[in-house]
């Protein structure tokens, strides 16, 4: 079984997930454990508990999961007070309708299903807010979504979790909970997940596009590179300035790819033997082991 | 200028939009006027004012608009108390970030921008709720989104508006506000919009896929047919029972296409001379003028 996940913060979670897979846990169990490890870590301020808050200093979380076998998905957006939004998204996967819920409705669903209402704003995140809100126009826009894909044994599952853009509008939804934009999986082909400025990733349906390109015969790496380079060029062609976006993907056999339009994008790959940190450098032109 | 729009309820709105285009109003002005006509009509219970409510008898609205020139979009989801959500979505189009907002945040943004907080639940919609909530499992799931595309003069703009699935979970988000799923536009290619059960439309990123197929060289009609038939077959292949979905699309020259996996799907086309009601019949196999 192969796992790929965005950013260095996923390293320990990937190891946890690989261990669970070896104990014959499902891809869903493993990917949620991977993401929980990041969500619950108070040192990571762009995902889950201790995420940086929105413009009114409330932490609002987005998460999603898709099963590439039947395309069942679950997603939550702008949900407050729940430390592990990926687990709420997972609970929604096999509902007949309303698999994607937001705001107070998502919180209500979580509480009805046994989740605990908790404070998500840590002192460190609040301190960052106090500094940056005074300088809102030039504020640091954190946007490091955890996204992961697990492929093997004929199954592909993808998942994401994020606190979204720092100082975002109340109720803002990025790409991460959006099937097609922030994540996609098709067990006949492969899976992909994106991180960066959601407002741009959405415009290119980037995760769906990567899977589409793999379906057309491209390798995982070719698909990732082509999707990112073409979309970046496409935006420039229209007079736009592309913001940051990065992609990781796996084909159904576990071959991986990664691409980015930023100078350094770290990601983690585990093939079941070893877990390694790589960095996509020079705007996606080279990939090095770190 | 060519306009295509979903369902018979769009007929008067299409005529209004065509009139505005002849007065040299922008595609955005015209498409919003088209959608406002449906949103404000108390006889239409699946869009805007008088929409059927969610499971707790609250009307929550979704809408989106995308400019195919630069891919700027605006979208709102699960927004209460505003009769014309498409106008709120339009206001969000040229923000740098947070173009897609939901719930209380969307309402707050609307009120800050001069929209009036109003009751959206009509007596007729409430009466329907009272009957159906008692029989929730077998309730009629209304889902007729207004979706429209305007193409011509080198510009393509698409937009949607809906009250979503009747008796949906609080905070539920369907395909309509999701760029890629419920709508897409690319002025170099064309535009598409979907209606039906959003939970399935999302899985296929159907509007993006139709535009992708037109980009690859298919005609508008070929792209619509292929996207709908392939996705319907794809779901069946996975042991799923596809729910209803229908598509309309325009290429950048104004050639149109429509396809559906239901027995009768009406839609409206105006070429600037005449406005006609068509029906896609026999699960998309034939199209007749009505």
H-helix or E-strand containing A249?
strand A245-251
Partner-chain residue, chosen from A169, A204, A209, that has the shortest CB–CB distance to B98? A169
Tell which B residues from 143 to 172 touch A, by Cβ distance under 8 Å: 165, 168-172
Distance CA B196, CA B137 (A): 18
Say whether residue B100 is in contact with chain A using an 8 A CB cutoff.
Answer: yes
Adjacent-strand bridge partners of A159: A65, A148
Q: What is the mean pLDDT of residues B226-236?
A: 98
Question: Are A210 and A247 within 8 A, CB to CB?
Answer: yes
Q: Check pLDDT > 80 for residue B204.
A: yes
Q: What is the pLDDT of residues A111-138, one digit of tens each?
A: 999 999 999 999 999 999 999 988 876 6
Q: What is the pLDDT of residue A31?
A: 98
- Looking at beta carbons, which residues of chain A come within 8 Å of B106? 171
CA distance B12 to chain A (A): 30
pLDDT tens digits along A59-100: 999 999 999 999 999 999 999 999 999 999 999 998 999 999
Taking CA–CA distances from A185, the nearest residue in chain B reads B203
- Tell me the average pLDDT across A160-169: 96
From the list B173, B205, B187, B200, the residue with the least C-alpha distance to B250 is B187
User: Which of B75, B77, B101 has its CB closest to that of A169?
Assistant: B101
Chain A: residue whose CA lies nearest to B67: A203
What is the number of CB-based contacts under 8 A between chain A and chain B?
159
Distance from C-alpha of A89 to C-alpha of A74, rounded to nearest angstrom: 4
pLDDT beyond 70 at B139: no
Position B282 pLDDT exceeds 90: no
Nearest C-alpha neighbor of B202 from the set A85, A160, A147, A93: A93
**B278 at interface of A, judged by CB pairs closer than 8 A:** no
User: So which residues of B are the catalytic ones?
Assistant: 145
Mean pLDDT to the nearest integer, B165-185: 97
Q: Please compute the mean of the pLDDT values over residues B13-32 and round it to a whole number.
A: 98
CA distance A250 to B72: 30
Supply the pTM of this predicted model.
Answer: 0.98
Name which of A89, A140, A172 to mutate to probe chain B: the one with the most chain B Cβ atoms within 10 A of its Cβ: A172
As a whole number of Å, the end-to-end CA separation of chain B is 22
Please give the backbone phi and psi of residue A11, each rounded to the nearest 5 degrees, phi first: -55, -50
Q: Taking a C-beta distance cutoff of 8 angstroms, is the pair B64, B106 a contact?
A: no
Closest residue to B179, CB basis, from A78, A101, A203: A203
Q: What digits encode the pLDDT tens for the residues A36-67?
A: 999 999 999 999 999 999 999 999 999 999 99
Exposure class string for A202-240: b at 16+ Cβ within 10 A, else e: bbbbbbbbbbbbbeeebbbbebbbbbbeebbebbeebeb
Q: Which residues of B touch A208 (CB under 8 A)?
A: 180, 205, 208-209
What does the pLDDT average to over A233-258? Answer: 97
Predicted pLDDT of residue B3 = 98
Facing B173 at nearest CB: one of A100, A108, A209: A100
- Non-local (6+) Cβ contacts of B133 within 8 A are B55, B57, B139, B167
Q: Which residue in A has a C-alpha nearest to residue B231's C-alpha? A: A71
B130 in contact with A at a CB cutoff of 8 Å?
A: no
Which residues of chain A lie closer than 8 angstroms to B165, CB-CB? 97-98
CB contact under 8 A, B101 and A203: no
Q: How far apart are the first and last CA of chain A?
A: 22
* DSSP β-ladder status, B264-270 and B2-6: antiparallel
Q: Are residues A255 and A192 in contact, defined by beta-carbon separation less than 8 angstroms? A: no
Mean pLDDT of chain A: 96
Interface predicted TM-score (ipTM) of this complex, two decimals? 0.97
Band of the pLDDT at B135, cuts 50, 70, 90? confident
Is residue A167 predicted with pLDDT exceeding 80? Answer: yes
Cβ under 8 Å to A: B residues 231-260: 235, 238-240
Residue-wise pLDDT tens digits, B77-95: 999 999 999 999 999 998 9
Instruction: For residue B136, give both structure tokens.
Output: 């929730």
Determine which helix (DSSP H) or strand (DSSP E) holds A29, and give its type and residue range: helix A27-39
| H-run or E-run covering A67 | strand A61-67
Q: How far is A276 from chain B (nearest CA, A)?
A: 32
Catalytic-role residue among A46, A122, A145, A195: A145
pLDDT tier at B140, thresholds 50, 70, 90: low
Q: Which tens digits make up the pLDDT trace of A204-219?
A: 999 999 999 999 999 9
* Mutation site, B60, B100, B108, interface A, largest A CB count within 10 A: B100
* pLDDT value of residue A139: 64
Cα dihedral across residues B203, B204, B205, B206: positive or negative: negative
- B282-287 contacts at long range (C-beta below 8 A, 24 or more positions apart): B284/B225, B284/B228, B284/B229, B284/B246, B284/B258, B284/B259, B284/B260, B287/B258
Taking the C-alpha atoms of residue B11 and residue B239, their distance in angstroms, rounded to an integer, is: 37
B206: confidence class by pLDDT, cuts 50, 70, 90:
very high
For an interface test with B, give the residue of A164, A169, A208, A242 to mutate (most B CBs within 10 A). Answer: A169
CA-based nearest residue to A240, from A229, A250, A231: A231
| pLDDT of B138 | 64
Is the model's pLDDT at A26 over the cut of 70? yes
**CA nearest to A141 within chain B:** B97
Q: What is the Cα–Cα distance from B61 to A144, expressed in whole angstroms?
A: 30
Report CB contact under 8 Å: A103, B203. Answer: no
CA distance A52 to chain B (A): 15
Nearest by CB to A173, from B101, B180, B212: name it: B101
Give the per-residue SS3 of chain B: CEEEEECHHHHHHHHHHHHHHHCCCCHHHHHHHHHHHHHCCCCCCCCCCCCCCCCCCCCCEEEEEEECCCCCEEEEEEECCCCCHHHHHHHHCCCCCCCEEEHHHHHHHHHHCCCCCCCCCCHHHHHHHHHHHCCHHHCCCCCCCEEEEEEECCEEEEEEEECCCCCCCCCECCCCCCECCCEEEECCCEEEEEEECHHHHHHCCHHHHHHHHHHCCCCHHHHHHHHHHHHHHHHHHCCCCCCCEEEEEEECCCCEEEEECCCEEEEEEECCCCEEEEEEECCCCEEEEC
pLDDT, average across residues B251-276: 96
Which residues of chain B neighbour A63 with C-beta distances below 8 Å?
none
Interface of B with A in 59-98 (CB under 8 A): 69-71, 73, 75, 77-78, 97-98
SS3 A149: strand
Query: Taking all residues of chain B, what is their mean pLDDT, rounded to a whole number?
Result: 96
Q: How far apart are CA B255 and CA B257, in angstroms?
A: 7
Q: Is there a contact between B208 and A203 if contact means CB atoms under 8 Å apart? A: no
Indicate if the pLDDT at residue A153 is higher than 90. Answer: no
The confidence band for B144, taking pLDDT boundaries of 50, 70 and 90, is very high
Q: What is the mean pLDDT of residues A221-234?
A: 97
Angle of the A206-215 helix axis to the B206-215 helix axis, nearest 10: 50
Q: How far apart are CA B226 and CA B244, in angstroms?
A: 16
| Residue A42: both structure tokens together | 């108070």
What residue in A sits closest to B164 (Cα-Cα)?
Answer: A98
Alpha helices in A65-137 (DSSP H): 85-92, 103-112, 123-133
Average pLDDT over residues B219-238: 97
**What is the tens place of the pLDDT at every residue in A238-249?**
999 999 999 999
According to DSSP, residue A136 is labeled G
């Amino acid at each position: 079984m192969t796992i790929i996940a965005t950013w260095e913060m996923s390293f320990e979670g990937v190891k946890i997930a690989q261990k669970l897979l070896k104990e014959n846990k499902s891809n869903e169990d493993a990917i949620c454990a991977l993401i929980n490890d990041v969500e619950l870590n108070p040192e990571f301020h762009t995902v889950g508990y201790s995420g940086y808050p929105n413009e009114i200093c409330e932490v609002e979380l987005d998460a999603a999961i898709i099963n590439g076998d039947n395309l069942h998905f679950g997603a939550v957006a702008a949900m407050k007070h729940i430390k592990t939004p990926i687990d709420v998204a997972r609970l929604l996967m096999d509902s007949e309708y309303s698999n994607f819920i937001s705001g107070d409705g998502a919180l209500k669903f979580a509480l009805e299903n046994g989740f605990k209402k908790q404070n998500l704003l840590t002192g460190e995140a609040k301190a960052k807010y106090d500094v940056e809100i005074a300088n809102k126009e030039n504020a640091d826009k954190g946007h490091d979504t955890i996204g992961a894909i697990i492929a093997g044994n004929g199954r592909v599952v993808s998942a994401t979790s994020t606190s979204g853009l720092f100082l975002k509008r109340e109720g803002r939804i990025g790409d991460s909970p959006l099937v097609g934009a922030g994540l996609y999986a098709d067990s006949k082909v492969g899976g992909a997940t994106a991180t960066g400025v959601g407002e741009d990733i959405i415009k290119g349906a980037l995760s769906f596009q990567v899977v589409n390109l793999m379906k057309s015969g491209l390798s995982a790496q070719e698909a990732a590179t082509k999707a990112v380079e073409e979309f970046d060029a496409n935006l420039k062609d229209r007079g736009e300035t592309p913001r940051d976006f990065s992609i990781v993907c796996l084909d159904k056999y576990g071959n991986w790819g990664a691409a980015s339009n930023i100078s350094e994008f770290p990601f983690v790959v585990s093939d079941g033997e070893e877990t390694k940190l790589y960095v996509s450098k020079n705007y996606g032109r080279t990939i090095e082991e770190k």
